[in-house]
Chains A and B, each alone.
Chain A
Amino acid sequence: MKWATRAGVHVDRAACAWLVRRFVDEEAEFVFVEDPDHVPAGATPFDMRGVELSHHGGNCSFETMLVHFGLLDPVLTDIARIVHEADLADDRFDAPEAPGLDVLCRGLSMVRYDKAVLSVTGAFFDGLYEYRRRTLLLGNEPS
């Protein structure tokens, strides 16, 4: 399936792309557009104004996707808090990792094209998922 998002990906789009490829559509192919009007026919748009898989009611697109695809995994919920704060920094959650993740994604997008950014951030999020999964496994709820 084809998925489309805005070019110049940052943390929320990177996290969404990782989520899609890992939990929704293994064969996902991503295209990057400058304007929402340029989304190719048949592609599913995300993290763009006026589309379903985007920011809604103060949630970032990653949070919207978790609800939309019915992903109830507590590890993903935990990652969503970090992505939310890295993207919006509105203090809804206490996520000390967020400023670091924000800086890493911002810096990456300065030196790599979108496709390469996604392959690096894909590894980030795989790692973050595993790290948080182990934390939850041992029952030490992250504060």
Chain B
Amino acid sequence: MAAAHPNWVLLAYRLPREPSTPRVTIWRKLRRLGVVQLIDGLVALPADARTKEQLEWIADEVLEAGGEATLWLGRPGSIADERRLAAAMAASVAAEYQAVLAGVKDVSRGAGSSGRRSLRHLERELQRISRRDFFPPPEREAARAAVRRLAADLEEVAP
């Protein structure tokens, strides 16, 4: 039998329909962590000390908001299932890296008010995305390279 080491952490949760504020807050936090949603009310992340802890805090927040939440450790039943999860997560961050690439193009065209400020913003955006980038797509290197190039260009224009 293959090693049954649980490599995913899952949060099953349900929130009251009203008020809607906690629903929105919690969904935003889950998105920021980079979860993949399996079905309504069931999200997953690759398991490590940090992801497990972050989902634990969110589970408590769901409970405090009058909802129900359970945390699970497990692994998909087949490699194909796991690959599908990883692909969905990679596609989602790939779109975010594309947005950074588009941002770099805008700045190069002089569309931004201040090139330097836009650069800082893009750098922080990259850092944020990489925190939830568990299965890096090719767009990651492309976005990083583009931001590095932009930084070098701005350095040349106004040292």
Q: Which residues of A contact B (CB under 8 A)?
A: 8, 10, 49-50, 54-58, 88-91, 99
Contacts and interface: CB of A to CB of B under 8 A. Distances in A.
B108 interface: no
5 contacts: A10-B50, A55-B61, A89-B128, A91-B32, A99-B127
Contacts of A91: 32, 128
B32 A90 contact: yes
A56 B29 contact: no
A55 B131 CA distance: 21
B61 A58 contact: yes
- State the main secondary structure of chain A at its contact with B: loop
Interface size class of B (residues with CB under 8 A): 10 to 19
Contact of A8 (B49, B54, B61, B64): B49
B141 interface: no
Contacts of A8: 49
Contacts of A90: 29, 32
Given A8-B49, A58-B25, A99-B127, A49 B56 contact: yes
Contacts of B54: 88
B81 interface: no
A57 B64 contact: yes
A10 B57 CA distance: 14
Interface in B29-68: 29, 32, 49-50, 53-54, 56-57, 59-61, 64
